[in-house]
Structure 1
Amino acid sequence: MRTDEAGALRHHGDAEVRDGGPGLVDLAVNVRADTPPAWLRARLAASLTGLAAYPDGRAARAAVAARHGLPVERVLLTAGAAEAFVLLARALEVRRPVVVHPQFTEPEAALRDAGHEVGRVLLREADGFRLLPGAVPEDADLVVLGNPTNPTSVLHPSAALARLARPGRTLVVDEAFMDAVPGEAEALAGRTDLPGLVVLRSLTKTWGLAGLRVGYVLAAPDTIRALERAQPLWPVSTPALVAAEACVSPGALAEAERAARATAADRAVLVEGLREAGLTVVGPPRAPFVLARVPEAARVRRELRALGFAVRRGDTFPGLTGDAWLRLAVRDRGTTEAFLKALRAVRGGG
């Protein structure tokens, strides 16, 4: 793989904000605004009195297991979903790994760093970036895809994903944004009937914990043991464990559901505005971000930055070739309307 291609796989939305200078309105990073909430910050602050002790993940692991109706042997806590991708790449013996693109690029980067030759299944714009039957090679023994998918915001039917599972294959479904879907429609988390199923979850997006690094893996016990052997000791900090336990509580789940419904309403405002501006939006979008086809996307992104708005370039995602794509995080109506005004200005429409 070329150096520039490897670098593209490691490009993430935080670079758009970090490298753009201070004061930018962030539509590049898919973390819910105004988080973590006050009650969660208080729980985290209280955990600091226990930092002298080594982390004990038993309570958090049990809480995650209970949240999904699983035994604890099917749960592994990780330092975010990104660590889980590294563990999968290093711990599992696979011959033909395949990543379904466009999607989050870290799984492929982790596999390549571990020495694997990675195949790609490129979903097509003409199909709405939806997975079609037979797209994944039969001999693929590791298949990775996201649901809902970053950056397309496509939510694949769970039945279609379940058909990819079979003995001798590990099926990794990244559900990092599933708790931002009302009712968690099409989730596979908690399923134990599908051979080789591995589901990844992140608490980063809905709860604003990107700086804390916390997520988890749901899989068969033998897979969990293999991943655990590849982890360093005490991989998840005490505050992150406290956050994991707190964010799977009944009250937190109810709050996440309310936030998901509010995000859906805010997303509708963004989508309508983009379409009124003459842009194509991949859809129907179901995640807390949208993917838009924007002519001269690089120029538009630069000029939006000059007007104070950071957006995510799309050309670093395999399958989104050319100067044509931007990913936009969903924000509140006021922020969205200000952004749409800026977008019209840089495109000559206002």
Structure 2
Amino acid sequence: MSADASAGRPAHGPAAPSAEDEPAGFDLRHHGDAEVRGADAALTDLAVNVRTGTPPDWLKARIAASLDGLAAYPDGRAARDAVAVRHGLPARRVLLTAGAAEAFVLLARAIPARCPVVVHPQFTEPEAALRDAGHTVRRVVLEERDGFRLAPDAVPDEADLVVIGNPTNPTSVLHPADTLAGLARPGRTLVVDEAFMDAVPGERESLADRADVPGLVVLRSLTKTWGLAGLRIGYVLAEPDTITALERVQPLWPVSSPALAAAEACCTPSALAEAARAAERTAADRAHLAERLAELTEVRVCGPAAGPFVLIRLPGAAAIRTRLRDLGFAVRRGDTFPGLGPDWLRLAVRDRATTDRFVIALAKALAEVTA
């Protein structure tokens, strides 16, 4: 875990607790939606990792039906029970949240960590929430040469709060469940962000159903697979004492009635079967994207990828990203993720026809920028 000057990476690793100056150079609040917000022209969106063609009609109907009950305060018991049944856990181990992002804020406020560690590159909101709550955050930076994979000894022993994504955004790396479970120890809270796990066929390497890992907190989101980013619905799976601590810092009625209806609907057997089919399609579409990108010698794909997105490295990425907008495509810049630099882009997986159009545009942009 060393510095990589060629990638624009700052010199910090698991043993170097860079403190107040650490956010410098990284916009931790930049997310994929910024790439398409306010665009003058319609862009084909490869920047946001929400499945296209969603939410499905049956889910929209369930959400619409809930509107008749808006005069009443939200009652999350049925949705909480549905999530618990979905994972084979007691309801006291479930907390519903306004998207997984809210859970990071609750954890930052409720967990009295002295040495919080965030494993990067990953979704930046956990670190931003911890810093906003007054924590000094240490970073473990995984390296491209290791495939952005976690070595068991990378996390310092003194870490009492560890946050890691699986599969990780933006690298699309799927870490073995046993490796992550091995990070657990007495006095440590282990947070595994599984926001994209339902896009992995079979949800292999998930820890969501585990109740035997001490200090484990698993976060899930329903916004990616089901197209509910605007509704904000996710949940936390953890030990009952942790759930109680998070509830204490959560505002009253944090999840709306329509979001609760969506959560309950997305946990039914038919919905889970539909999500499983979507995950298989995504895997096939991702393989096609990787094959087409391999035709471009200037592009290096981080892999093997497991999420509904891929991370690529190519020269002049910032200029190419701008040119791609002119050609009608939005992609996610990579330089806002600690551990990456200006040569990285993240691409959401789309259908084969969209990928074929995109690769033509990317080849054109590469030719123009590198000429």
TM-score by length of 2: 0.92
Q: For structure 2, which runs of at least 5 residues remain unmatched after alignment?
A: 1-19
What residue in structure 2 maps to residue 179 of structure 1? 198
What residue in structure 1 maps to residue 15 of structure 2? none
Matches within 5 A, 1:120-131: 120-131=139-150
Question: Structure 1: how far apart are the matches of 2:284 and 2:355?
Answer: 12
Deviation at 1:166, TM superposition (A): 0.7
The 8 Å contact of residues 29 and 312 in structure 1, kept in 2 or not, is answered as yes
What residue in structure 2 maps to residue 247 of structure 1? 266
What letter matches 1:60 in structure 2? A
Task: Determine which of 140, 147, 158 is the counterpart of 2:177.
Answer: 158
The 8 Å contact of residues 20 and 310 in structure 1, kept in 2 or not, is answered as no
1:235 correspondence with 2:254 = yes
Structure-2 change in CA distance of 1:301 and 1:134 (3 Å): same
Structure-2 change in CA distance of 1:3 and 1:125 (3 Å): closer
**1:276-310 C-alpha deviation (Å, 9 max, x unpaired):** 11211111000000000111000000000011100
The 8 Å contact of residues 160 and 188 in structure 2, kept in 1 or not, is answered as yes
1:305 correspondence with 2:313 = no
SS of the residue 2:151 aligns to: coil
SS of the residue 2:64 aligns to: helix
What residue in structure 1 maps to residue 340 of structure 2? 320
Structure-2 change in CA distance of 1:301 and 1:127 (3 Å): same
SS of the residue 1:173 aligns to: strand
Task: Determine which of 113, 136, 142 is the counterpart of 1:94.
Answer: 113
Structure-2 change in CA distance of 1:343 and 1:316 (3 Å): same
Deviation at 1:19, TM superposition (A): 4.2
For this pair of structures, how many residues does the alignment match? 349
Deviation at 1:334, TM superposition (A): 0.7
What residue in structure 2 maps to residue 11 of structure 1? 30
What residue in structure 1 maps to residue 315 of structure 2? 295
Question: Structure 2: how far apart are the matches of 1:166 and 1:207?
Answer: 34
What residue in structure 1 maps to residue 66 of structure 2? 47
SS of the residue 1:213 aligns to: coil
What residue in structure 2 maps to residue 222 of structure 1? 241
Structure-2 change in CA distance of 1:4 and 1:74 (3 Å): closer
Question: Structure 2: how far apart are the matches of 1:116 and 1:332?
Answer: 41
Matched residues, percent identical? 73
Question: Structure 2: how far apart are the matches of 1:39 and 1:272?
Answer: 34
Moved beyond 6 Å, runs of 4+: none
What residue in structure 1 maps to residue 17 of structure 2? none
TM-score by length of 1: 0.98
What residue in structure 1 maps to residue 136 of structure 2? 117
Structure-2 change in CA distance of 1:305 and 1:162 (3 Å): same
Task: Determine which of 176, 186, 207 is the counterpart of 1:188.
Answer: 207
SS of the residue 2:209 aligns to: coil
The 8 Å contact of residues 143 and 169 in structure 1, kept in 2 or not, is answered as yes
Question: Structure 2: how far apart are the matches of 1:241 and 1:19?
Answer: 30
Structure-2 change in CA distance of 1:246 and 1:304 (3 Å): same
Task: Determine which of 146, 164, 169 is the counterpart of 2:188.
Answer: 169
Q: For structure 1, which runs of at least 5 residues remain unmatched after alignment?
A: none
SS of the residue 1:276 aligns to: coil
Task: Determine which of 191, 196, 202 is the counterpart of 2:221.
Answer: 202
Question: Structure 2: how far apart are the matches of 1:116 and 1:3?
Answer: 12
**1:217-269 C-alpha deviation (Å, 9 max, x unpaired):** 00000000000010000000000000000001100000000000000110111
Q: Cα RMSD over matched residues?
A: 1.4
The 8 Å contact of residues 6 and 109 in structure 1, kept in 2 or not, is answered as no
Task: Determine which of 76, 80, 87 is the counterpart of 1:68.
Answer: 87
What letter matches 2:157 in structure 1? E
The 8 Å contact of residues 102 and 152 in structure 1, kept in 2 or not, is answered as yes
**1:115-140 C-alpha deviation (Å, 9 max, x unpaired):** 00000000000000000120000010
The 8 Å contact of residues 26 and 337 in structure 2, kept in 1 or not, is answered as no
SS of the residue 2:27 aligns to: helix
The 8 Å contact of residues 301 and 313 in structure 1, kept in 2 or not, is answered as yes
The 8 Å contact of residues 9 and 106 in structure 1, kept in 2 or not, is answered as yes
Question: Structure 1: how far apart are the matches of 2:152 and 2:134?
Answer: 29
Question: Structure 2: how far apart are the matches of 1:181 and 1:304?
Answer: 28
Question: Structure 1: how far apart are the matches of 2:39 and 2:148?
Answer: 30
What residue in structure 2 maps to residue 284 of structure 1? 304
